[in-house]
Amino acid sequence: MKLFVLTAMLAAAMIAPAAATDAVLDVPHTQAQFTVTHLALSKVRGTLPLIAGTVTFSDTGMPSNASASFDVKGVITGDDNRDKSLRTQYFETDKYPTLTFVEKKIEGTPAAFKVTGDMTLHGVTKSVVLTGDVDGIQTIRGKREVGYTLHTVIDRRDFGIVFAGMLDNTLIAGNDVTIDIDAAAVEK
């Protein structure tokens, strides 16, 4: 009888789902970087700082229930005049101060997953797919932490950012915007 009980307990432990850990995104170590083509010849990069975010992760670091909010008013490109222009002419941050993302579905493995979710930018919500991977998982100061890298490309016009300034018949800012997110999630 003892052997039967021990065998049943071992079998249950082997088929039990991985433990889920609720976490918050670490503000100083999470940001969204964007890249857009300037005058069809060079790249301009900028950063949007994280306001807040949450995620649940498994023992392998695989994320679920992810959401994040980024500060569009805090955009930094390294040029004060461009940052002011982005805030007023492109993002209209007085009306739309944040970019948010809420995960709806995640599929794949820690080495390569796709996150489908709703992105809200400039008052417009669209479904977006980000590709990602788990960079690593560590226990630091008694709490588990997971690092993620995520990537997507959006068309700014899909989000109502249609400022179409031209200089010598060349579009000042390209329509495709690459977004890369580096994130660190810390166990609650």
Q: Note the pLDDT tens digit of each residue in 59-89.
A: 999 999 999 999 999 999 999 999 998 999 8
Position 13 scores a pLDDT of 44
Position 124 scores a pLDDT of 98
Bigger pLDDT: 175 vs 107: 107
Closest CA to 29 of 153, 177, 149: 149
Mean pLDDT (whole number) for 151-180: 82
| 138 has pLDDT over 90 | yes
Specify the DSSP element, H or E, that contains 54: strand 42-57
Mean pLDDT (whole number) for 25-44: 91
Where residue 152 falls among pLDDT bands split at 50, 70, 90?
very high
Bigger pLDDT: 99 vs 168: 99
| 159 has pLDDT over 80 | yes
- The full DSSP string for 103-169 is EEEEEEETTEEEEEEEEEETTEEEEEEEEEEEEEEEEETTEEEEEEEEEEEEEGGGGT-----EETT
Position 38 scores a pLDDT of 79
Domain architecture of the chain: domains with CATH: 19-187 (2.40.128.110)
Mean pLDDT (whole number) for 148-155: 98
Contact 115, 63 (CB under 8 A): yes
Mean pLDDT (whole number) for 20-31: 96
